[in-house]
Amino acid sequence: MAVEAVDTKKKADRFDEPIIVVEKINKWFGDFHVLRDVSLSIAPQEVVVIIGPSGSGKSTFIRCINRLEEHQEGLIQVDGIELSHDVRNVAEIRRETGMVFQQFNLFPHMTVQDNVTLAPMKVRHWSKDQAEKKAMELLNRVGIPEQAKKYPGQLSGGQQQRVAIARALAMEPNIMLFDEPTSALDPEMIKEVLDVMKELALSGMTMIVVTHEMGFAREVADRIIFMDHGRIVEQGPPEHFFDPNVEHHPRTQEFLDQIL
Amino acid sequence: MAAQTHQDSTLRGARPSIFSYFRDIRVIQVVLQIVFIILLVSILSFVFINVYNSLADRNLVPTFRFLTTRGGIPISDSPAWYTPDESYGEAFFVGVINTIRAVSVGLVGATVIGILVGILLLSNNWLIRNISRIYVEILRNTPLLVQLYFWYFVVFLEALPKDPTGLPAPGVTSISWSVPIMFLLIVAITLLARRTNFPTRMTVGGLLGLIVMAAVRPALLDNPTTEGIVTIGMLLLIGIFLLISFFAPKDWRGLATGFLAMTVGTILGAGLFQLFEYFGVVADGQALNLSVYPVFYYSVKGIFAPEIIPTAVFGTWAVFVAIGVALAIVLWMLAGHVTETTGKPVPRGTYAILSIVIFSVIGWGIAGAQARPTTIPIEGDEGTVELVPYDEALESGDILFEDWPLYRTEPVIIATPELNRFNNLEIGFVLQPQYSALVLGLIVYTSAFIAEIVRAGIQAVPYGQIEAARALGLSTSDTLLRVILPQALRVIIPPLGNQYLNLSKNSSLAAAVAFADTYQVGTTMMNQSGQSITGFTMLLIVYLTLSLLISVVMNIVNGRFQIVTR
Ligand SMILES: Nc1ncnc2c1ncn2[C@@H]1O[C@H](COP(=O)(O)OP(=O)(O)OP(=O)(O)O)[C@@H](O)[C@H]1O
Ligand SMILES: [Mg+2]
Q: Give the model confidence (pLDDT) of A92-119 as tens digits.
A: 999 999 999 999 999 999 999 999 999 9
In this prediction, residues B541-554 reach a mean pLDDT of 95
Condensed to tens digits (0 to 9), the pLDDT of residues B52-111 reads 888 888 877 778 888 999 989 999 888 889 999 999 999 999 999 999 999 999 999 999
Pocket flag, ligand 1, residue A211 (CB < 6 Å): no
Q: Which residue has the higher pLDDT, A242 or A61?
A: A61
Condensed to tens digits (0 to 9), the pLDDT of residues B403-459 reads 666 677 788 888 888 777 777 777 778 889 999 999 999 999 999 999 999 999 999
Condensed to tens digits (0 to 9), the pLDDT of residues B101-132 reads 999 999 999 999 999 999 999 987 788 889 99
DSSP SS3 for B401: coil
What's the pLDDT at B58?
A: 80
Supply the CATH classification number for the domain B92-164+431-561: 1.10.3720.10
Q: What is the DSSP letter of B501?
A: H
Domain locations in chain B as residue ranges: 19-59, 92-164+431-561, 171-292, 307-415
What's the pLDDT at B20?
A: 76
What's the pLDDT at A9?
A: 42
B261's CB contacts (< 8 A; 6+ apart) are B185, B188, B189, B205, B206, B209
Around Cβ B14, how many Cβ atoms within 10 Å? 8
Nearest residue CA, atom 31 of ligand 1?
A55
d(CA A56, CA B474) in angstroms, rounded, equals 29
Q: Are B439 and B517 spatial neighbours (Cβ–Cβ below 8 Å)?
A: no
Around Cβ B281, how many Cβ atoms within 10 Å? 10
Residues of A in contact with B471 (CB under 8 A): 66, 68, 94, 97-99, 101, 168
Q: How confident is the model at residue B225 (pLDDT cuts 50, 70, 90)?
A: low
Q: How confident is the model at residue B399 (pLDDT cuts 50, 70, 90)?
A: low
Residue to mutate (ligand 1; options A25, A26, A27, A29; most atoms within 8 A of CB): A29
Residue of A81, A96, A107 to mutate, testing the B interface (most B Cβ within 10 Å of its Cβ) = A107
Task: Flag if B197 and A101 touch (Cβ within 8 Å).
Answer: no
Say whether residue B12 is in contact with chain A using an 8 A CB cutoff.
no
Measured in Å, residue A58 CA sits from the centre of ligand 2 at: 6
Q: How confident is the model at residue B246 (pLDDT cuts 50, 70, 90)?
A: low
Measured in Å, residue A99 CA sits from the centre of ligand 1 at: 17
Q: Which residues 527-566 of B are in CB contact (within 8 Å) with A?
A: 561, 563-566
Number of A to B CB contacts under 8 A, please give it. Answer: 97
Nearest residue CA, atom 5 of ligand 1?
A29
Q: Which helix (H) or strand (E) holds A231?
A: strand A231-236
In this prediction, residues A183-208 reach a mean pLDDT of 94
Burial class of residue A191 in the structure, from the number of CB atoms within 10 Å of its CB (0-12 exposed, 13-18 middle, 19+ buried): middle
pLDDT at residue B1 tops 80: no
Q: Are B315 and B193 spatial neighbours (Cβ–Cβ below 8 Å)?
A: no
- N-term to C-term CA, chain A: 24
d(CA B367, CA B284) in angstroms, rounded, equals 42
DSSP calls for B107-143: HHHHHHHHHHHHHHTT-S-HHHHHHHHHHHHHHHTS-
Closest by Cα among A74, A78, A91, A98 to A19: A78
Condensed to tens digits (0 to 9), the pLDDT of residues B281-338 reads 766 666 667 777 888 888 888 888 888 888 888 888 999 999 999 999 999 999 989 9
Closest by Cα among B170, B173, B78 to B417: B170
Q: How confident is the model at residue B136 (pLDDT cuts 50, 70, 90)?
A: very high
pLDDT at residue A210 tops 70: yes
What's the pLDDT at A4?
A: 45
DSSP calls for B23-37: G-HHHHHHHHHHHHH
Pocket flag, ligand 1, residue A58 (CB < 6 Å): yes
d(CA B366, CA B319) in angstroms, rounded, equals 11
pLDDT at residue A2 tops 70: no
Pocket flag, ligand 1, residue A60 (CB < 6 Å): yes
Least-confidence region, from A133-137, A210-214, B157-161, B316-320:
B157-161
Q: What percent of chain B has pLDDT over 70?
A: 86
What's the pLDDT at B64?
A: 85
What's the pLDDT at A15?
A: 52
What's the pLDDT at A11?
A: 46
Q: Are B546 and B503 spatial neighbours (Cβ–Cβ below 8 Å)?
A: no
pLDDT at residue B221 tops 70: no
What's the pLDDT at B62?
A: 79
Q: What percent of chain A has pLDDT over 70?
A: 94
What's the pLDDT at B203?
A: 84
Condensed to tens digits (0 to 9), the pLDDT of residues B506-542 reads 999 999 999 999 999 999 999 998 888 889 999 999 9
Residues of B in contact with A134 (CB under 8 A): none
Complex prediction ipTM: 0.91
Residue to mutate (ligand 1; options A58, A63, A212; most atoms within 8 A of CB): A58
Q: Which residue has the higher pLDDT, B247 or B36?
A: B36
Measured in Å, residue B95 CA sits from the centre of ligand 1 at: 62
Measured in Å, residue A27 CA sits from the centre of ligand 1 at: 11
Q: What is the DSSP letter of B447?
A: H
Of B199, B467, B564, the CB nearest to A105: B467
Closest by Cα among B440, B514, B389 to B113: B440
Nearest residue CA, atom 10 of ligand 1?
A29
Task: Flag if B470 and A68 touch (Cβ within 8 Å).
Answer: yes
Look at chain A and count its residues.
Answer: 260
Residue of B472, B481, B558 to mutate, testing the A interface (most A Cβ within 10 Å of its Cβ) = B472
Q: Which residue has the higher pLDDT, B134 or B532?
A: B134
Task: Flag if B472 and A154 touch (Cβ within 8 Å).
Answer: no
> Is the model's pTM score more than 0.80?
no
What's the pLDDT at A6?
A: 38
Condensed to tens digits (0 to 9), the pLDDT of residues A6-58 reads 344 444 444 568 999 999 999 999 889 999 999 999 999 999 999 999 999 99
**Residue in A closest to B465 by C-alpha:** A105
Task: Flag if B472 and A153 touch (Cβ within 8 Å).
Answer: no
Pocket flag, ligand 1, residue A59 (CB < 6 Å): yes
Pocket flag, ligand 1, residue A29 (CB < 6 Å): yes
B184 to chain A, closest Cα gap in Å: 25
What's the pLDDT at B226?
A: 61
Determine how β-strand A175-179 pairs with β-strand A206-210: parallel
Task: Flag if B471 and A118 touch (Cβ within 8 Å).
Answer: no
Distance of CA A62 to the CA centre of its chain: 7
Atom in ligand 1 nearest the alpha carbon of residue A212: 25
pLDDT at residue A189 tops 50: yes
Measured in Å, residue A59 CA sits from the centre of ligand 2 at: 4
Atom in ligand 1 nearest the alpha carbon of residue A56: 21
What's the pLDDT at B3?
A: 46
Q: What percent of chain B has pLDDT over 90?
A: 41
Pocket flag, ligand 1, residue A31 (CB < 6 Å): no
